[in-house]
Structure 1
Amino acid sequence: MPSTPDDSVDYPLCTTPEPGGWQEVAPGVLWIRLSLPFQLDHINVWALDGGSVGWTLIDCGLGDPRSLKVWEALLRDALGGRPVERVVVTHFHPDHIGAAAWLVERTGADFATSLTEWLVARTLSAGSDDATEAVAERFYRRCGLEPDALAALLARKGAYGRAVPGVPATLTRLRAGDRLPVGDRHWTVIGGSGHTAEPVSLHRPADENGPDLLISGDQILPRISPNISVWPTEPAADPLADYLDSLKGWAVLPADTLVLPSHGRPFRGLHRRAEDLAAHHAERLAEIETLCVEPRTAAAVTRALFPRPLDPQQLLFAVGEAVAHLNHLIRKGRLERVASQEAGMPAVDLYRRTTAMAPA
């Protein structure tokens, strides 16, 4: 979701690749740009040169035929037909993991991510059962969505499997603190949470050949804030608390680290960007708290936060983000959730500011 842009954080020493193109952004690191058929119309993929051992790919785009055709050209041209040692996925979202199974089969590469991200991807790719669909319908009904909006969200059944036709059956598990060798250099796995449960970021320290590098996935982006959502399967979750804690963790990296994000351009200014994202969410929380002086549904809060027209995918993320902020305020004791039910109508959750305000 949008945050305040800051042109000064852009890294000016490289040009943005065309879709399907690439650009060396640091010694041994290729920036590959892949198209996406969404409002967020691209994803950045990073290819790390491991010398004679082969390439390490970080993320891989969707698993649709158009993307796979682009990958055939990239394997030949950008990667020079050399081996691919491993495919690393930062998290389970389709634009990051969609082509992973195809790439692993096509190249014989190892597959690596965190255990949680792999398990979620395997579960979602297998499809949902009636019980899961019923849980989703109940969750979005309680949000107070209008019938047309509710129908649009429920019609997305099976969308994940269409974008992720398969997930590798085996993995190398990555944990925070692990060292990932690429050629004669190492990248350290940095954990986090919020955007998803256990995303993977990678840090390479500066040396005589180049600066500190951080492949951040979606955890920290230069122009937008990553979506922080509550989903029907864990309706009382507080992923915003996890995300805000993760933002504090970037302070251990050097301030001039070159950040290689999944969307947008590489940038410097990691610490300031983390502070900006924390401030963005603080503003959202204050806005919601003011809205809920009068009882509001999650749908009403969503419309206030995101007044522009939303397609079904955007609406899904917007509702999830609104509930994430509402749940965080409940956890802080600043809001309470009460059920409201008119005769003959399903129950809807209302959120209102608490009478006795807890400390912030």
Structure 2
Amino acid sequence: MNALESQLDYAFGDTLPAIGSTLEVAPGVLWLRMALPFALDHINLWLLEDELEGPNGLRKGWTVIDCGIANDATRAAWEHIFETQLRGLPILRVISTHCHPDHVGLADWLCQRWKVALWMTGGEYLAARVMSAGLPGADGTASLPHFQRHGLKDPELVTKLGGRNNYYAAMVPSVPESYFRMHDGQTVQIGGRGWNVITGFGHAPEHASLYCAELGVLISGDMVLPRISTNISVLAIEPESNPVQQYLDSLKKYATLPANTLVLPSHGKPFRGLPIRITQLNDHHAARLAEVLEACAIPCSAVDILPVMFKRPLDTHQLSFALGEALAHLHQLWFVGLLRRELGTDQVFRFQALAA
């Protein structure tokens, strides 16, 4: 455990639910994990005891929060959960916090499997539909020219990133054709308890976290993670965005929650110490912005900034996130007027610090 982690209170210590099993973390709230084929090798999912009015009266069952990616291993793990962990009760609805594959990949399969509805914010649902359909500008081919404009020239890396044309659709092959829309400030009744929707930005278009004051529980999704910082990227479909500022502004919403809130993150372990973690995340980005600004004493592209922000070797999956994040920090400094941006004769954007 590093120094930052040691400042947090991990409510269950090193206890983790095995794949295919659950662990109750609050009354009526079950924690389960699914494997991911990345360096970030798991996602936390949640089952909430629920009851919904149906054609034949009130039905008891479960609400699923987040789904895992669409592959055979995750489907098999879900089937085991259905057989062994639901106490004979059905799934009543599926909630996805946001559009990333590990959160929405199996949403359509779950919804069809149980004949239930998907709940998402409008921004996340539409983004998932667009990316799953591979529409121009949102498909895998859009990333390569986007990163080439920001300094990607290495032939090997160009080939690797250029080969990820079907990346999103492979993990999210379909999205339900209709949904229930969630929005900021809405209270969703789950199992007789109110869960308030808190939207956040910077990591995804309209990420939804859920907070239950009665239980003192925040299902934070990817917005607040205990060990790693949330990826914040400038994407090809929104090339002039300022996601770092959007993310930092979003963190302020969580700062008003009680200090003893039990945070249930999508990656890592449940913890208490939300105000401490928010301070850590703000400090992290302040430090990254300072080092990027210092590097830009000379003109730098996003590719030039990679070794400044990321000291470790990056695989192809990590490279795309790292490039997006390097560009995001350049954009934040550019938006506040500390950097200027110029397009070179080689059609690459470079950023340079303005004279004091």
TM-score by length of 1: 0.92
Of 155, 158, 165, the match for 1:150 = 158
Q: Would the alpha carbon gap of residues 195 and 131 (structure 1) be closer, same or farther in structure 2, given more than 3 Å must change? A: closer
Tell me how far 1:215 sits from its aligned partner: 0.2
Q: Could you tell me whether the CA contact under 8 Å between 1:45 and 1:58 is conserved in 2?
A: yes
Residue in structure 2 matched with residue 9 of structure 1 by the alignment:
8
Percent identity of the aligned residues? 44
1:60 aligns with 2:59: no
Greater shift in the superposed pair: 5-14 or 317-326: 5-14
Q: Distance in 1 between matches of 2:137 and 2:226?
A: 39
Equivalent in the alignment of 2:289:
285
The total of aligned residue pairs comes to: 346
Query: What is the DSSP-based 3-state SS (H/G/I as helix, E as strand, rest coil) of the residue aligned with 2:264?
Result: strand
Structure 2 residue identity aligned to 1:111? L
The answer to whether the aligner puts 1:245 opposite 2:244 as a matched pair is no
1:122-141 equivalences under 5 Å are 122-129=129-136, 135-141=142-148
Q: 1:133: Cα distance to partner? A: 6.4
**Pairs within 5 Å for 1:89-238:** 89-129=96-136, 135-145=142-152, 146-206=154-214, 211-238=215-242
Partner of residue 260, structure 1: 264
The offset of 1:349, in angstroms, is: 1.3
C-alpha displacement of 1:20: 2.6
Which runs of no fewer than 5 residues in structure 1 stay unpaired?
none
Match of 1:41 in 2: 41
Match of 1:74 among 81, 88, 96: 81
Cα distance in structure 1, aligned partners of 2:183 and 2:3: 32
Cα distance between partner residues in 2 of 1:305 and 1:324: 12
> Secondary structure, in 3 states, of the residue corresponding to 1:92?
coil
Amino acid at match of 1:20: G
1:176 aligned partner, one-letter code:
D
Deviation at 1:252, TM superposition (A): 1.6
Secondary structure, aligned partner of 1:288 = helix
CA deviation after TM superposition for structure 1 residue 4, in Å:
6.2
Match of 1:83 in 2: 90
| Structure with greater proportional strand content | 2
Q: Is the 8 A contact 2:34 2:68 kept in 1?
A: yes
